[in-house]
Amino acid sequence: MFKFVFKRILMVIPTFIAITLITFALVHFIPGDPV
């Protein structure tokens, strides 16, 4: 059970970082006010 949870966390962290970076890039590189 612990290995399963650990693997899930290891998969979620890079996904979360990628989503954060994409959102950050969209907000900063698209002209106009972020809504």
Are residues 27 and 21 in contact, defined by beta-carbon separation less than 8 angstroms? no
Task: Check: CB of residue 4 under 8 Å from CB of residue 10.
Answer: no
Domain membership flag for residue 15: yes
pLDDT tens digits, one per residue of 6-30: 999 999 999 999 999 999 998 888 7
Query: Is the pLDDT reported for residue 4 higher than 80?
Result: yes
What pLDDT sits at residue 34?
55
Query: Residue 2 pLDDT > 80, yes or no?
Result: yes
User: What's the DSSP call for residue 30?
Assistant: S
Model pTM score: 0.57
What letter represents residue 3's amino acid? K
Residue 12 lies in a domain: yes
Reference 24, options 15, 34, 14; nearest CA is: 34
Do the domain assignments include residue 2? Answer: yes
Residue-range definition of the domain harbouring residue 17: 1-30
CA gap 27, 35 in Å, rounded: 9
